[in-house]
Amino acid sequence: QEAFLNAIIDTNKRPEVTGAEGLAALECAEMILASIKEHRWE
């Protein structure tokens, strides 16, 4: 969150994670959660 705000405040500074990388991480997390939901742990 701090890195994102710093990138907004200082327009010469790039965020540590790109939008594409953030999206890929979210998609990966969604796949993991879906897999956990489908697998019933006993």
- The per-residue pLDDT for 30 is 98
Domain count of the fold of the chain: 1
- The per-residue pLDDT for 20 is 95
- The per-residue pLDDT for 42 is 65
Q: What is the DSSP letter of 14?
A: P
More confidently predicted of 31 and 1 = 31
Share of the chain residues as helix, strand and coil, in percent rounded to the nearest 5? 65, 0, 35
pTM of this structure: 0.66
pLDDT digits (tens, 9 = 90+) for 2-34: 888 888 898 888 888 888 999 999 999 999 999
Query: Which residue segment(s) compose the domain that 14 sits in?
Result: 2-38
- The per-residue pLDDT for 39 is 84
Angle at 1 between CA 22 and CA 12, to 5 degrees: 80
